Amino acid sequence: MKVTQKDIAKRIGVSTSLVSRVLSGQAHKIGVHPKKIEDIIRVAKELNYVPSPAALVLKGKKSRTIGVVVYDFHDPYFALLINEIQQLAHDNNYSVLLVGFLNRKPEESDLLPLYKHFVDGIIILGSYGDLSWTDAFKEIPITRIGHGEHQNLKLTISIDEADAMRKILNHLVNDLKLSKIKFIARDLPAQELRRNTFISAASEFKCDLQALELQHNASDFKTGTICARELLSKGHESLPHAIVCATDTIAMGVIRTMWENGIRVPDDIVVIGYDDIPAAATYIPAITSFRQPIKIFAQRCFKTIIDNPEPYVANIEGELIIRKSSLKSGQK
């Protein structure tokens, strides 16, 4: 439970307005006794009191600090976003405060840094999840890079998943003339959305497009290895022509497992990833991947926090980066 000035006042037996005067440094103007000031400050520290960001905003104070809430520090895609945000902050003389939530669910202790450092705005990295905790920060701009709108968000910006899946399938079906394609995803909100979008886009292409069941595994790489083994267990002759993965790390697990079982990528099977993390370009073979416009995401969020416009939602198109994992012999 967040401690308020009312709690401090009740503990000492004084008015809330007096506590407010003391904690805002205005007690001397009304002649408050030094001992009383000392008592109020002492109790505030004992109760771990931190000022409300809303109160600071109303007073016109700025900390030039942006809070970045990360849903998953293990996800390399989020690392790319953090790098872009940090660069923007550096260029504009801002600081970045990183916080994370265990299993995407915040506890009071997770939120304390956002209170204590009086952030001017918040950028959430990750899709969906419970955003009731943002009620405590409604007076400052809150943005999200990911899917899932909410009344407290000034900006929800994400990739246009439908456009992405059409571009991927167009490459496989129309450019490469492949007709038997599988999709692999883990049971995370963003990956499930990509799986559903794949299923919807499949109706536009007349071929055998199937999504495997969502995987309940601890990591993306493990998901790739388990699904690849499942496909291999049915016999090499039953393998699809191509596998589309919800992330690059899943694609890496697929490629590794195929290689261990004598299946060559791309000559025997084509594999495509998603997010275009740096490792995708250096993997063997280099992975064809859908690149998200992370610079645009970061810039829009940063500008929203500074300008505080009316709330809006943006879906931005990305780009399919074609590499060796989807190029047959002789193709360039």
User: Nearest to residue 74, comparing CAs of 29, 19, 126?
Assistant: 126
**Mean pLDDT on 145-151:** 96
Ranking 17-26, 156-165, 168-177, 183-192 by mean pLDDT, the lowest is 17-26
DSSP H stretches of helix in the chain: 5-12, 16-23, 34-46, 53-58, 76-91, 108-116, 161-169, 189-202, 220-232, 248-260, 278-282, 294-307
pLDDT at 108: 74
Do 155 and 299 fall within a single domain?
yes
Of the chain, the percentage scoring pLDDT greater than 90 comes to 66
* In a domain? residue 331: no
Q: What is the pLDDT of residue 56?
A: 54
Of 114-118, 121-125, 257-261, give the lowest mean pLDDT range: 114-118
Task: Calculate mean pLDDT across residues 127-136.
Answer: 90
Average pLDDT value for residue range 175-183: 95
154 and 299 share one domain: yes
Q: pLDDT grade, residue 306 (50/70/90)?
A: very high
Query: Measured between alpha carbons, how far is residue 158 from residues 35, 76, 80, 246, 312 in Å?
Result: 54, 17, 14, 15, 12
The pLDDT of residue 100 is above 60: yes
Spatial separation of the C-alpha atoms in residues 4 and 43, rounded to whole Å: 12
> How much is the pLDDT for 54?
54
Same domain, 85 and 193: no
Are 127 and 197 in the same domain?
Answer: no
| Same domain? 78 vs 221 | no
Residue 332 has pLDDT above 50, yes or no: no
Residues 32 and 122 in one domain: no
317: pLDDT strictly greater than 90: yes
247: in domain = yes
Tell me what pLDDT residue 50 has.
72
DSSP letter (8 states) at residue 186? B
**The predicted structure's pLDDT at residue 118:** 80
Q: Rounded CA gap, 115 and 103, in Å?
A: 21
Dmax (CA) of the chain: 88
Span 14-34, average pLDDT: 80
Same domain, 68 and 188: no
Residues 187 and 251 in one domain: yes
In a domain, 264, yes or no: yes
Q: Quick one: the chain helix, strand, coil %, rounded to 5?
A: 45, 20, 35
**Residue 67 or 25, more confident:** 67
Average pLDDT, the chain: 90
CB 126 within 8 A of CB 147: no
- The number of beta carbons lying within 10 Å of the beta carbon of residue 190 is 25
pLDDT at 49 over 60: yes
16 in any annotated domain: yes
Are 264 and 301 in the same domain?
no
CATH number at residue 265: 3.40.50.2300
Q: Is the pLDDT of residue 329 over 60?
A: no
How many domains, in total, are found in the chain? 3
- Contact 245/255 with Cβ under 8 angstroms? no
Mean local confidence (pLDDT), 153-168:
97
How is residue 5 written in tokens? 């000035």
Residue pointed to by tokens 């994992």: 325
Mean per-residue pLDDT for 78-99?
A: 94
Average pLDDT over residues 56-81: 82
Mean pLDDT value across residues 128-154? 93
Q: What mean pLDDT do residues 299-321 have?
A: 96
Q: Is residue 332 part of a domain?
A: no
210 and 168 inside one domain: yes
Based on the fold, state whether residues 86 and 114 are members of the same structural domain: yes
Residue 261 in any domain: the answer is yes
pLDDT band for position 232 (cuts 50, 70, 90)? very high
pLDDT at residue 267 is higher than 60: yes
Range of the domain at 19: 5-49
Residues 13, 33 within the same domain: yes
Q: Which of 13, 32, 49 is the last residue of a domain?
A: 49
Tell me the C-alpha distance between 243 and 172, whole Å: 10
Q: Is residue 179 within 8 Å of 241, Cβ to Cβ?
A: yes
Distance CA 147, CA 157 (A): 7
